[in-house]
Amino acid sequence: MVGRYHDYYHVLNQNRDQSLGYREAHNVAIDCRYLSSSRWGMLGNTPAWILLAELQISQPNDIEVQEAKLELRFRGTTKRNTSCLDVTKDYGPVIGFGRPVYKDVQKRAKAAPEGGGGGMSAKFGEFERATSQTYMYRWQVHGERIPDDEDRLYRRIAWRIAEAKITKQIDHRAIWNLGLALKHGGEPFLINTSISIQFRGWQKIFSTQTKDDLEPTRVTPPRKFPKDRLDDIVHALNDELTIENLKRPPEESDASAIRQGVPSGEYRDQLAEAFEKLSTVLAKCVVH
C-alpha cells in the first residue's frame, strides 16, 4: 500500500465479523459491522463482492433518536482501481417499513362541580372521566446510491433509518440487516464509513455527525478468486433483506409486545405476512 492512505486504514479480516465504523454520542452508540457471511464471486462476467452488514444501535430509554444515517464510500488504492468500482442497483433494503406497533394511552380527568345560590353553595360530588386513544408507530428505512461526480458510477451508498416514535420512548429496533453488491477489478480497495445521528429534544431536533477522522477499511479480494455465480443471490438481495428486517428482533420479547398492544396469535402472523408482501412490492417498484 502506497500513497496518502499508507498509515491510515484498518485491514478487513474477512473470516470474522468486524466493525467498519463506530460512532457514539449522547449515550447512543452506532456500529456498522461487516459480516463474515459476505461472498466473493462473479456477477455476469465481472468480479463482484456481496457485502453483508449489520447496523447496530444501542439506545437508552431516556434518549430519542429521530434518524440515523449510514454512508459507505468505496475508493481504490489507485485511480485505476477506483474506476472499476461500482455499487449495483441490487442492494437492500431499498425501502422498508416496520410492522405497526400499537400502544393504548389512557387519560383520566377528575372534576368536582359546585353550585348554589343565595349565598349558599353545594358540592355535587367528584366525577372522573376516562378517555382512551390508540397510537401506532413503525420505523422506516430508505437506501440510496449516490453517483460519482466524474464518471457517474455509483461508489457511495447511504441508508437513512427513521424511528417513528409516539409521545414517549418505546422499544426500538436495535439491529438492521443491510447488503449490497459491488463490482470491482480484483484489486484492493477502501471503504470509508460515516455515521450521523439526529436526536429529538424537548423543543427541537439536533444533529451530530462524524468528522473526517474515521479510518477507512482496506479490503483485499482473494488471490485465487472464486468463480461462483452470484447473479441469483444478488438479484434477490433486496427482497430477502426487506423481509429479514420485518422479523421481530430478538431483543423484543413477547411480554413487551403484549404490553404495547401488538395484535397476538394468528392475527399477528397474518398481519406480519401482509406487511412482508407489501414491503416486497414497494421495493420492486423502487428498483424498477
pLDDT tens string 66-121:
888 999 999 998 887 888 999 999 999 999 877 677 777 777 777 666 665 566 65
Task: With a cut of 80, say whether residue 214 has pLDDT above it.
Answer: no
Under the banding of pLDDT at 50, 70 and 90, the label for residue 259 is very low
Please give the distance of CA 144 from its chain centroid, rounded to a whole number. Answer: 12
Of 147 and 208, the structure prediction assigns the larger pLDDT to 147
- Each domain of the chain, given as residue ranges in start order, spans 10-101+137-250
Instruction: Please tell me the predicted confidence (pLDDT) of residue 138.
Output: 76
Task: With a cut of 70, say whether residue 163 has pLDDT above it.
Answer: yes
Task: With a cut of 80, say whether residue 210 has pLDDT above it.
Answer: no
Query: What is the third-level CATH fold of 10-101+137-250?
Result: Immunoglobulin-like (2.60.40)
Report the alpha-carbon distance of residue 3 to residue 243 in Å, rounded: 42
Task: With a cut of 90, say whether residue 21 has pLDDT above it.
Answer: yes
Residue 219: strand pairing partners? 189
Of 210 and 182, the structure prediction assigns the larger pLDDT to 182
List pLDDT tens digits, range 167-199: 444 455 678 899 999 999 999 999 999 999 888
Report the alpha-carbon distance of residue 56 to residue 64 in Å, rounded: 15
Task: Write down the residue that cell numbers 428486517 correspond to.
Answer: 245
Task: With a cut of 50, say whether residue 5 has pLDDT above it.
Answer: no
- Could you tell me what percent of the chain has a pLDDT over 70? 68
Q: Are 65 and 200 in contact (CB under 8 A)?
A: yes
Kindly give, in sequence order, each residue whose CB lies less than 8 Å from that of residue 193, ignoring residues fewer than 6 positions away: 20, 21, 32, 70, 71, 72, 73, 214, 216, 217
Of 175, 18, 157, which Cα lies nearest the Cα of 90? 157
pTM of structure: 0.72
Q: What is the largest CA-CA distance in the chain?
A: 102
Kindly report the three-state secondary structure assignment for every residue of 156-188. EEEEEEECCCCCCCCCCCCEEEEEEEEECCCCC
Of 23 and 108, the structure prediction assigns the larger pLDDT to 23
Question: All 3 cell numbers of residue 288?
Answer: 424498477
Task: With a cut of 70, say whether residue 157 has pLDDT above it.
Answer: yes
Under the banding of pLDDT at 50, 70 and 90, the label for residue 129 is confident
Of 38 and 104, the structure prediction assigns the larger pLDDT to 38
List pLDDT tens digits, range 224-250: 999 999 999 999 999 999 988 877 655
